[in-house]
Amino acid sequence: MNPLLEQFLSEAREFLEGIGEKLMQLEQAPGDASLMNELFRLVHTLKGNSGLFEFPEMTRVLHAGEDLMDAVRNGRVAYCRGLADQLLDAMDFVGLLCDEIESAGRIVASRAADSARLAEALRAQIASQAMTDTARTSEDSTPAAGATAPAAPATPPPAPPPLADIPEAVRVEAYRRAQDRDSLYWIAYTPAEECFFQGDDPFFTVRQTPDLLWGRIVPREPWPRLAELDAYRCLLDFHLLTAAPRQELAEHYRYVPEQVRIMAVDPLLLVIPQGDSNGGPVSEDFAAAALHHLETGDLAALEQAAQTLLELSNPELWLSSALRWLLLLLDRVPDNHAALRLLIESLRTLTPPDWAAASAAPAETAAAAKDARPSGRVHAAKAPKPRSELSEEDAAALAAIFAAQRQILMLDDHPAWQPGRLKAVAGVLVNCCKASGDLTAQNEIEAALQEALATGDSAPLLAWLDGRRRGQPTTAQTHPAPAGADLTANAAPASGRPQPANSSPPPQSPATVDEAPRFGRRAEDVIAGPKSLKVDQGKIDRLMNLIGEMVVSKNALPYLAQRAEDQFGVRELAREIKAQYAVINRIAEEMQDAIMQVRMVPVSFVFQRFPRLVRDISRKLGKEVRLVLQGEETEADKNIIESLADPLIHIVRNSLDHGLETPDLRRACGKPTAGTLTIRAAQEADQVLIEISDDGRGIDPGVIKRKAYENGTIDEATLERIGDREAINLVFAAGFSTAAEVSDLSGRGVGMDVVRTAVEKVNGTILLESEAGTGTRIRISLPLSMAVTKVMIIESDQQIFGVPMDHVVETVRVPHTAIRTIKHSQTTVLRGRIVPLKNLNTLLELPATPKVNADDELAVLVVRAGGGMVGLMVDDFRETVDVIQKPLSGVLSDLAAYSGSALMGDGSVLMVLNVKEIV
């Protein structure tokens, strides 16, 4: 999974959460416009994001949701609980899709239909509400009319597909395929009129349809005159017959589910004799004889008679066509007497057998029609008793119950309580059937239950359910259908006992029954949680402290090894301790690194507030500013980044207020009217560099010098001596301000001083460069992390001190002769630069002179301090170590010479020098 997608998924979850929350809040305060806007924004953003990926299912639902929210926002649709429910449902669906994408990397094809349905439901909300609205406005006296309007207009049942248009040969083939257990589907594909502009090629899509048996292209409306024809408005409809599984079709048409209607086709409906309808009398005789054969069960004779008549007849005749079908049925489903009878009956009238009208529900329950029709028309006495009509809701509920029972039966664990479970299921089924007025079903279920209990297998009950689902009752004795036989036809009992069509199959609309797709999450659902974890910072800090302690205590091991060797003389042990130390050292370092990574945050954390800040301030000041942010992904320790926030805001404000000129002034100077403020972050070794630069007027050192002198920051001598570069850095001095008057932006004289303090607090350095007229640049360099400090240990007067490595430039041995004394200061020349030398002992007021080594060389530690370099004369250099620096507390906190103390591995305390203070 690519990072973009990963991010999308984690964001999407957050959005969904937010949307859910907002919806809840809206329930409390439906009139809150800002909440509504927020909600719309969330949905809108999520939709936009989803568009980046190929998830049409998701985008479609979100788009519909967005439209709905927009309508609500604009007051076209009133917010109500039902609407919220639908939105929540849709969002649950989106969440489900997210889970699917995360686990499988893609969306299951069958979701397309659900998605289309949900989107339609959402849009229906807009339409119905709009309708209600108009109703309300037109007839104010009858508001009830609006209230009772159904949420979604009931769609008329789809017209049965015009199967008669399919050539007989294709239908025969399709029928055979259906008998071979392929499902048949009629697809009506109505591409959107503007689809050509979206790069669609519906014809190509159609040609690629899997298992295509037949197809045709028909114009949607009469063709206009050529002169008026718009070639790019799609006026074509596509009709197809395919034997592919529904799943595959849904996958194939997943991008256009709302333009496609896929209808299951009962194979019997394909049996439509066609042709010239001459030659009636013969057929009358034949029909009588054939019915006789059928009743006596003499199928061989029937087949022979049909064969003979067919040979004698003109193949073009309607009669011949019917006979061909009769033979086919005899061949494939000889047991389906009802069907055969119906077909023979139709020979009398020369009208196609009316398979569809006889059945209550179209297509799917056509099998029941076979029974219902003859009993209804021919044998009126055996007419089924009128079944109690179920309301649509009840039917759906019933279907849901059946689906649930089915799921229970499908469980393939075999617990000890299996018999109890079976009984429970049977009980539910019986009660359901009773409730729906289907009394005869009870016996069948009982029988199935007995069989199931006997075998300990749920198959018989499942078989009953399956039979029922196809809309027909199945006797308990139904044995597994022989392979290849027509399942539906087989269900008609061989005994000839007319099975009343009493099953009253709930009027099922094909999509809603078996799946009953609800996307609502239940508490017990396994939630694929997001992969990121929010942890209290205190816990991480604790980890950090612990690993710090560990680093220190692991450092004790080398001392231990030394002791083992020196004091106890066990070399072997010393070596082993050292080996162990190496291992622990490696793990500790990795661990430290890992914990450090946890604390790392990108600087964008701070940067993200700048666009807004800059926009607001620059507008207030009437300046035009272009903000450039670079290196936002640079990472550093959270504490460091956080400590950076305030100084950066100060600096940006200063740049905007003092640095950048007004557009008029800029134009006068020949600069572009819009000033540029660049904030750049980069990582350099173990430092984070932040550079804030503007192309404004820069800082005039003269002004700074004079101001500094005026408010007493520098004395007269310094005023004379100080260079421009140093003068500019005077702005960091406490209480310094150049602004003539205090504004709400700056001028209080605390700005840059505070900035410097904040940066130095986290061991960072700040440097200002400026050129009058062309701009200012401030460079802040910060350590990546502050938990563990690398210090170099130096020795002086038999004591050890630590110097933070951040300050160390280099270590050199300087011969005594290379040291010159200028006035009272000692200096030396290093690579062409004069470096002032200071005696550490003197700085610390230790009464000792620096030691020299055998070659009469002094150890000089060159450190960076206050923008310059200083050489510290010490006795000797030692190793560098990682320490956890603890600030000095209590009475020691006044000792400015030390920045802190650290515990060494051998238990001694290392004082860490505050280089800036002592130099």
- Binding residues vs other proteins (CB under 8 A): 191, 196, 201-204, 207, 215-219, 223-224, 226-227, 229, 231-232, 234-236
Rounded to whole angstroms, how far apart are CA atoms 129 and 149? Answer: 9
Rounded to whole angstroms, how far apart are CA atoms 697 and 801? Answer: 45
Planar angle of CA 516, 518, 519, nearest 5 degrees = 150
Q: Judged by CB, which is closer to other proteins: 174, or 339?
A: 174
Q: What is the dihedral of CA 850, 855, 859, 862, to 10 degrees?
A: 140
Residue 146 CB, shortest distance to other proteins, in Å, is 42
Name the phi and psi angles at 789, rounded to 5: -105, 140
Residue 172 CB, shortest distance to other proteins, in Å, is 17
The per-residue b/e assignment along 560-594, b for 16 or more CB within 10 angstroms, e otherwise, is bbeebbeeeeeeeebeebbeebeeeeeebeeebee
Please check whether residue 16 is in contact with residue 95, taking contact to mean a CB–CB distance below 8 angstroms: yes
Residue 320 CB, shortest distance to other proteins, in Å, is 24
DSSP 902: E
**By three-state DSSP, how is residue 308 classified?**
helix
Q: What is the dihedral of CA 790, 795, 796, 799, to 10 degrees?
A: 90
Name the phi and psi angles at 902, rounded to 5: -145, 150
Q: Judged by CB, which is closer to other proteins: 72, or 213?
A: 213
For residue 117 the two structure tokens come to: 């349905």
**Tokens 């061991």 found at:** 763
Beta bridge partners of 780: 690, 766
Residue 318 CB, shortest distance to other proteins, in Å, is 22
Q: Judged by CB, which is closer to other proteins: 234, or 656?
A: 234
Cα dist from 367 to 187, 336, 357, 556, 857, whole Å: 21, 10, 12, 87, 109
Residue 273 CB, shortest distance to other proteins, in Å, is 22
Residue 227 CB, shortest distance to other proteins, in Å, is 6
Q: Judged by CB, which is closer to other proteins: 18, or 215?
A: 215
Q: Judged by CB, which is closer to other proteins: 9, or 244?
A: 244
Q: Judged by CB, which is closer to other proteins: 196, or 605?
A: 196
CA 806 distance to own-chain centroid: 43
Residue 233 CB, shortest distance to other proteins, in Å, is 9
Q: Judged by CB, which is closer to other proteins: 222, or 484?
A: 222
Residue 193 CB, shortest distance to other proteins, in Å, is 11
Q: Judged by CB, which is closer to other proteins: 177, or 756?
A: 177
**By three-state DSSP, how is residue 446 classified?**
helix
Residues 6+ apart with CB under 8 A from 163: 171, 186, 241, 265, 269, 270, 272
Give the other-Cβ count within 10 Å of 516's Cβ: 14
Q: Judged by CB, which is closer to other proteins: 226, or 526?
A: 226
For residue 795 the two structure tokens come to: 């020795």
Task: Classify residue 176 as exposed, middle or buried by CB count within 10 Å of its CB (0-12, 13-18, 19+).
Answer: middle
Q: Judged by CB, which is closer to other proteins: 69, or 240?
A: 240
Residue 161 CB, shortest distance to other proteins, in Å, is 16
Residue 180 CB, shortest distance to other proteins, in Å, is 23
Angle between helices 111-138 and 81-104 (to 10 degrees): 160
DSSP H or E stretch at residue 586: helix 571-599
The contacts found for 230-234 with CB under 8 angstroms, 24 or more apart, are 232/196, 232/197, 233/193, 233/194, 233/196, 234/191, 234/192, 234/193, 234/194, 234/195, 234/196, 234/202
DSSP H or E stretch at residue 869: strand 868-874
Q: Judged by CB, which is closer to other proteins: 31, or 219?
A: 219
Q: Judged by CB, which is closer to other proteins: 221, or 412?
A: 221
Rounded to whole angstroms, how far apart are CA atoms 245 and 509? Answer: 18
Q: Judged by CB, which is closer to other proteins: 172, or 629?
A: 172
Residue 208 CB, shortest distance to other proteins, in Å, is 10
**By three-state DSSP, how is residue 427 classified?**
helix
C-alpha gyration radius of the chain: 44
- DSSP string for 86-136: HHHHHHHHHHHHHHHHHHHSS--TTHHHHHHHHHHHHHHHHHHHHHHHHHH
Residue 113 CB, shortest distance to other proteins, in Å, is 24
Q: Judged by CB, which is closer to other proteins: 167, or 520?
A: 167
Q: Judged by CB, which is closer to other proteins: 204, or 381?
A: 204
Residue 436 CB, shortest distance to other proteins, in Å, is 45
Cα dist from 750 to 299, 613, 756, 903, whole Å: 108, 20, 10, 36
Residue 244 CB, shortest distance to other proteins, in Å, is 16
Q: Judged by CB, which is closer to other proteins: 223, or 417?
A: 223
CA 631 distance to own-chain centroid: 26
Planar angle of CA 503, 504, 510, nearest 5 degrees = 110
Residue 204 CB, shortest distance to other proteins, in Å, is 6
Residues 6+ apart with CB under 8 A from 61: 90, 93, 94, 115, 118, 119, 122
Residue 416 CB, shortest distance to other proteins, in Å, is 59
Rounded to whole angstroms, how far apart are CA atoms 567 and 809? Answer: 38
Do the strands 625-630 and 675-684 form a parallel or antiparallel pair, or are they unpaired? Answer: parallel
Q: Judged by CB, which is closer to other proteins: 42, or 188?
A: 188
Residue 298 CB, shortest distance to other proteins, in Å, is 42
Largest CA distance in the chain: 141
Q: Judged by CB, which is closer to other proteins: 218, or 668?
A: 218
Residue 412 CB, shortest distance to other proteins, in Å, is 43
